[in-house]
Amino acid sequence: MSSRADDNRRLLLRLGVAAVAMFGFGYAMVPFYEAICQVTGLRNILQPDVVENTQVDPTRQLTIELDANTHDLAWRFRPTQNTIDVHPGQMVEITYEVTNTRNVPVTGQAVPSYGPQIAGDYFKKLNCFCFEKQTLAAGETRIMPVLFVVDPKLPGDVNTITLSYTFFEVAGTQARQAGDGGRG
């Protein structure tokens, strides 16, 4: 009988060590992520970019393709125009339209991506709905602006940039709304 008690104690010890290790790993994720962002050059998407050169290059024209997606989110999300032609250094405002199709308020966060990937280093957002979480009331439609400049230092072989946003539901929104009737 004591062997069973010893086995239970060992199992309890292993489970305790695993729980402490998981807590430690979760706690270490934030500084680990920040270190990866610094090493790889990823930027904080929740802050405006710094624009160093504001001179417009009228000799060069770029096409900006606009894309919109949602990830497991019952919203309609689209750019109000599919493409726009810009000059590097030109300050440009574009807009996206989003509609909450559910019958409860929902909070989402937009994450940008760029194609080609190198374009992200030269695409400077001065104002963007992606800087903050967006809460839309049931059935609400909102027009959301993005103010940007493409740095004139963009390599000359890049003539087209695709700006794509994906909206994700903020964690915990569904759980809070479960008492309000869940998904609409």
Using one digit for the tens of pLDDT, what is the confidence trace for 26-76? 766 666 666 665 555 555 555 556 666 568 899 999 999 999 999 888 899
- Best CA proximity match to 169, nearest among 129, 142, 135, 138: 135
Report d(CA 88, CA 73) in Å as an integer: 34
Residue 172 CA to residue 9 CA, distance in Å, equals: 36
User: What does the pLDDT read at residue 26?
Assistant: 72
| 62-176 belongs to CATH 3.40.50.300 | no
What integer is the mean pLDDT of 82-87?
97
Burial 18-41 (b: 16+ CB within 10 A, else e): eeeeeeeeeeeeeeeeeeeeeeee
Helix, coil or strand: residue 110: strand
Every domain of the chain and the residues it spans: 1-42, 62-176
Q: What is the mean pLDDT of the chain?
A: 84
Please tell me the predicted confidence (pLDDT) of residue 141: 97
Position 50 scores a pLDDT of 61
pTM: 0.67
Local structure of 135: helix, strand or coil: strand
Please give the pLDDT value at position 183: 40
